[in-house]
C-alpha cells in the first residue's frame, strides 16, 4: 500500500516538472521570436546631424565690477569745531552745496586783523610816495642830498613790497574763512558722515568726513586674458573673423542675477599692461545710469563683440565626447554607413553647441544619439536627429570661456 502511494506521488512530481520545462521552453521561444529580428537585423540605429557652416557673431563674456564715474572724499582744509551738518546721509548733493560749517570766529578775527594791517601799510605808503616825489625835484637843484633821496626811494620800495605781503595775508585769511564752510566738490550721492556736530576736525586729515560718488554715468572695469586676445588677433589675421570696430565699441551688460541691463555701453580703452600674476589686462567701459541701477562694486558681465565668423561650424554638445586623454572626439557616418572617429579642436561653447575649429567639415554626418551602441568601423542605420527645438539661435547665444583642446 505504501509503495502504491509513493508511486502515485512520484508520478505527480514528474508531471509537474514536465509542465514547468515546457513552459520555460515556450517562453524562450517567444523571446527568441522577439529578439530574433534585432539580433539578426544587424545594424543599430543612430541619429545624426549634417554639419553645416553658418554666419555667427562671436562675442565674449568678460567678468568685472562697476565703479563710480567720479569719487570725491570730503576733507576739511582748516581746523576747527563742526557747528552744523547741512546734508542728509545717502542723499544727492550738488557741486558747491554746503555740507558742514566749522566755527568761523577765529578765522573772522584773522581776516579782520589782516585787513587792518593792509590799511596801515596803505596809509604809510601814501606819505612815502609824496615824499619821494618831492625829493626827486629837490635833488635836481641840490636842495636835498642824493643820499636822502636814495633812502626815501628805498623806503618806498620796501613799503610797496610790504603792501603786497599784506594783500596776500588778507587773501589767505579770506580763503581760510571761506573754508569754514565745507562744500561739495562734485555732484552725486553722498554716503554716511564720519563726524557729528561738535567734533574737532583738522586741516587735510587722512580720514574723510564723507564720500561723494557720481553714479551717472558709471565705469565698468572687466578683465580679459592675454591668451584670448592673442587668439582673437590670430583669428583676425588668418581671416577666420571679421571685425566691425563700430560694433565692437558697443557693449552689452549682464547683471549678477542674469538679467540684461537695458542700455548699451561704450568701450573706452584697454590697458596696455598685462598683470603678470593673472595674465590678464583691464578693459574700461562707460554706461549711462539714469535710474542708478548700477551701484559701485557690483559684479557684472560685459558682452563684447569680437567679430563675425562667416563659415562657423556649430554642432550639438551631446555629440562630442572625450577619449581617455581628455581630447574631444566625434563619431561620423561615412558614405558607406560606417562609423568613423574624428579628433576635434574646439574653440568655445555657444549656448548648447560647440564651435569647432577643426576636425569637421560641411557635409559630415555626426552622430548625436546612439553613440553608446556603436564603435569606429561598425555599420549603422542612419535616422535624422530631432532636436526638439532645444537648440538656441546663433544670434542670441551666450559665449562661454574658450576650451583648451588639442
CATH architecture of 76-103+180-207: Beta Barrel (2.40)
pLDDT of 401 = 40
pLDDT, tens digit, 9 for 90 and up, residues 264-308: 888 887 777 787 888 887 888 899 999 889 999 999 998 887 777
- For the cut 60, the answer to whether the pLDDT of residue 398 exceeds it is no
Number of Cβ within a 10 Å radius of residue 295: 13
Q: 260-289: string of b/e by CB count within 10 Å (b at 16+)?
A: ebeeebebeeeeeeeeeeeebbbbbbbbeb
Choose the most confident range, by mean pLDDT, from 51-60, 271-280, 357-366, 381-390: 357-366
- As a whole number of Å, the CA-based R_g of the chain is 44
pLDDT of 397 = 35
Which of the pair, 141 or 172, is modelled with greater confidence?
Answer: 172
Grid cell in block for residue 119 = 590799511
CATH architecture of 105-178: Orthogonal Bundle (1.10)
DSSP state of 174: H
- For the cut 90, the answer to whether the pLDDT of residue 78 exceeds it is yes
Give the domain ranges of the chain: 49-66+216-396, 76-103+180-207, 105-178
pLDDT of 391 = 41
pLDDT, tens digit, 9 for 90 and up, residues 38-55: 434 568 888 888 888 888
Residues 197, 286: Cα–Cα separation, whole Å: 38
* Domain 49-66+216-396 CATH class label: mainly beta
pLDDT of 194 = 92
196-218 mean pLDDT:
92
Residues 129, 134: Cα–Cα separation, whole Å: 9
- φ, ψ for residue 86, nearest 5 deg: -105, 5
Amino acid at each position: 500500500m505504501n509503495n502504491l502511494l509513493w508511486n502515485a506521488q512520484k508520478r505527480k512530481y514528474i508531471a509537474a516538472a514536465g509542465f514547468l520545462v515546457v513552459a520555460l521552453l515556450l517562453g524562450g521561444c517567444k523571446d527568441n521570436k522577439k529578439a530574433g529580428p534585432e539580433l539578426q537585423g544587424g545594424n543599430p540605429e543612430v541619429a545624426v546631424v549634417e554639419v553645416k557652416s553658418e554666419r555667427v557673431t562671436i562675442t565674449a563674456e568678460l567678468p568685472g565690477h562697476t565703479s563710480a564715474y567720479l569719487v570725491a572724499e570730503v576733507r576739511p582744509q582748516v581746523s576747527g569745531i563742526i557747528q552744523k551738518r547741512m546734508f542728509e546721509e545717502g542723499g544727492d548733493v550738488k557741486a558747491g552745496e554746503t555740507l558742514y560749517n566749522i566755527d568761523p570766529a577765529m578765522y573772522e578775527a584773522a581776516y579782520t586783523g589782516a585787513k587792518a594791517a593792509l590799511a596801515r601799510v596803505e596809509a604809510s605808503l601814501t606819505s612815502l610816495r609824496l615824499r619821494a616825489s618831492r625829493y626827486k625835484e629837490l635833488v635836481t637843484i641840490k636842495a636835498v642830498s642824493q643820499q636822502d633821496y636814495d633812502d626815501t626811494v628805498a623806503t618806498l620800495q620796501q613799503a610797496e613790497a610790504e603792501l603786497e605781503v599784506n594783500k596776500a595775508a588778507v587773501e589767505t585769511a579770506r580763503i581760510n574763512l571761506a573754508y569754514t564752510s565745507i562744500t561739495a566738490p562734485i555732484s552725486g550721492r553722498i554716503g554716511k558722515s564720519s563726524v557729528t556736530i561738535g567734533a574737532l576736525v583738522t586741516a587735510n586729515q587722512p580720514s574723510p568726513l564723507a564720500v561723494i560718488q557720481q553714479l551717472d554715468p558709471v565705469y565698468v572695469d572687466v578683465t580679459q586674458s592675454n591668451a584670448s586676445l592673442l587668439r582673437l588677433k590670430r583669428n583676425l589675421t588668418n581671416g577666420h573673423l571679421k571685425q566691425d570696430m563700430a560694433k565692437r565699441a558697443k557693449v552689452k551688460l549682464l547683471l549678477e542675477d542674469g538679467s540684461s541691463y537695458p542700455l548699451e555701453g561704450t568701450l573706452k580703452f584697454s590697458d596696455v599692461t598685462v598683470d603678470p600674476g593673472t595674465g590678464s589686462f583691464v578693459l574700461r567701459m562707460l554706461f549711462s545710469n539714469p535710474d542708478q541701477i548700477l551701484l559701485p562694486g557690483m559684479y557684472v558681465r560685459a558682452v563684447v563683440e569680437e567679430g563675425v565668423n562667416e563659415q562657423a561650424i556649430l554642432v550639438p554638445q551631446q555629440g562630442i565626447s572625450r577619449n581617455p586623454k581628455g581630447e574631444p572626439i566625434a563619431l561620423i557616418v561615412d558614405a558607406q554607413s560606417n562609423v568613423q572617429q574624428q579628433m576635434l579642436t574646439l574653440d568655445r561653447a555657444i549656448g548648447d553647441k560647440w564651435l569647432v575649429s577643426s576636425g569637421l567639415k560641411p557635409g559630415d554626418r555626426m552622430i548625436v544619439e546612439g553613440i553608446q551602441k556603436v564603435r569606429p568601423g561598425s555599420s549603422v542605420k542612419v535616422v535624422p536627429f530631432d532636436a526638439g527645438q532645444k537648440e538656441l539661435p546663433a544670434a542670441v547665444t551666450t559665449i562661454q570661456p574658450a576650451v583648451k583642446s588639442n
